[in-house]
Structure 1
Amino acid sequence: MPEEKVILVNENDEQIGLMPKMEAHEKALLHRAFSVFILNDNNELMLQQRAANKYHSPSLWTNTCCSHQRDGESNLDAGKRRLQEEMGFTTELKESISFIYKAPFDNGLTEHEFDHILLGNFNDIPHINKDEVADWKWMSLNDIKVDIEKHPELYTEWFKIIFAESFEHLKL
């Protein structure tokens, strides 16, 4: 199976090329991404714990799911696809804010992403893909904020950045 490619973009989110995902992360090149935040009717966020076999940030807690758009795929279609692949459900999503962030990892890879925040509502139990997700839980936004301050080592680097950047926009 060929390696997944990411969409390289400029600071205006205009596509400038395609590159294998690992190469883009090794070279820290700016590429398009999305982060899905699923909230329930109690305004709690569904967090996922990454599977222990992930090539970076294994077993850490993060937002509901995130990934990269495929060439020609809309942000919303990409978010729905990945939500189904990782968490085993789909729901309507809406676009929120977008911004650029950069997060280096200990293994030499760097996330340098033009990230689109996607919001959705769900009140049921997900059917997680154990190859991608070790566990999940609902947590209030304020409790997440406090827990990140107390235990930052439990969360992915990108989630800490994205959560802080989008905290005020996490409303349906």
Structure 2
Amino acid sequence: MPITSAEGRTTESSTAPSADNTEPIMLELVDESGRTIGTAEKVSAHLAPGRLHRAFSVFLFDEAGRLLLQRRALGKYHSPGVWSNTCCGHPYPGEPPFVAAARRTGEELGVAPALLREAGTVRYNHPDPLSGLVEQEYNHLFVGTVRAAPAPDPAEVEETAFVTPAQLDELRERARFSAWFMTVLDTARPAIREVTGASAGW
């Protein structure tokens, strides 16, 4: 079956990069319970063995129950050119994960979720075999729907695709996926089934 391609609580304490990108991007460090314990510069937080930090992952579905995937841009410093879920990222310090998830979905894919709901959290440790960087993340998961066609930022996204579960299985057999993809997908499945319905097969 062919794959159909488609071509922050922001408070005063939030630390976002400046308009000229001279400020380092800071991440929120957390303990094993997800409580904030400090901040760290983005790249340094991913150097082995990694520092546990807050992240988010988004799964958006169209009206047919197909999952919107993205292939990460080839120029990204971490996991370039691999397929992954709709959107992943890190809240700015002080920014609620829900706000960050909606913000980055718009920035990366040029669409706003029609629906977005929380789908739990997952903590994992996934080294990237190519770069040697490590994802030590306390990840907030979000599931929702999308009605508009993506208009990806080429600096962030190489390509996109809407897939059924069977098409996802086929794609995973012949293409590389992010190290964290199955961990976040499996954790989000209960919420995904509530959003898409049993007939979608997720």
TM-score of the alignment, normalized to the shorter chain, above 0.5: yes
- Shift of residue 76, structure 1, vs aligned partner: 1.1
Provide the aligned C-alpha RMSD in A: 1.5
Closer/same/farther in 2, CA of residues 142 and 12 from structure 1, 3 Å limit: farther
Which of residues 69, 79, 88 in structure 2 aligns to 1:66? 88
Q: TM-score, normalised by structure 1?
A: 0.92
* 1:113 partner SS: strand
- Report if the CA contact (8 A) 1:96-1:117 is conserved: yes
Bigger Rg over Cα: 2
Give the fraction of aligned pairs with identical amino acids, expressed as a percent. 32
Q: Hey, which of these two has a bigger chunk of strand by percent? A: 1
In structure 1, stretches of 5+ residues that fail to align are: none
Query: Displacement, 1:144?
Result: 1.7
Secondary structure at the aligned position of 1:154 is classed as: coil
Identify the residue that residue 146 of structure 2 maps to in structure 1.
122
Task: Tell whether 2:116 aligns with 1:93.
Answer: yes
- 2:158 maps to a residue whose letter is A
Q: Does structure 2 conserve the Cα–Cα contact (< 8 Å) formed by 1:43 and 1:141?
A: no
User: 1:84 corresponds to which residue?
Assistant: 106
Q: Which letter does structure 1 place at the counterpart of 2:123? A: I
Write the deviation string for residues 124-162 of structure 1: whole angstroms up to 9, x where unpaired. Answer: 2111101000110100134324543x24x5211111322
Deviation at 1:95, TM superposition (A): 0.6
In 1, the alpha carbon distance for the partners of 2:167 and 2:107 equals 27
Instruction: Find runs of 4+ consecutive structure 1 residues off by over 2 angstroms.
Output: 145-148, 164-169
For residue 132 of structure 1, what is the aligned residue in structure 2? 156
Q: Matches of 2:54 and 2:24 in 1, distance apart?
A: 16
1:3 to 24, 40, 43: 24
Unmatched segments (≥5 aa) in structure 2: 1-21, 196-202
> What is the deviation of 1:56?
2.1
Aligned residues: 170
Amino acid at match of 1:78: A
Q: 1:33 aligned to 50, 55, 58, which one?
A: 55
Q: CA deviation at 1:163?
A: 1.8
Aligned to 2:34: 13
- Aligned partner of 2:65 in structure 1 is 43
For the 8 Å contact 1:39–1:45, the answer to whether it is kept is yes
- In structure 1, distance between residues paired with 2:171 and 2:77: 24
Matches within 5 A, 1:140-159: 140-145=164-169, 147-148=171-172, 150-151=173-174, 153-159=175-181
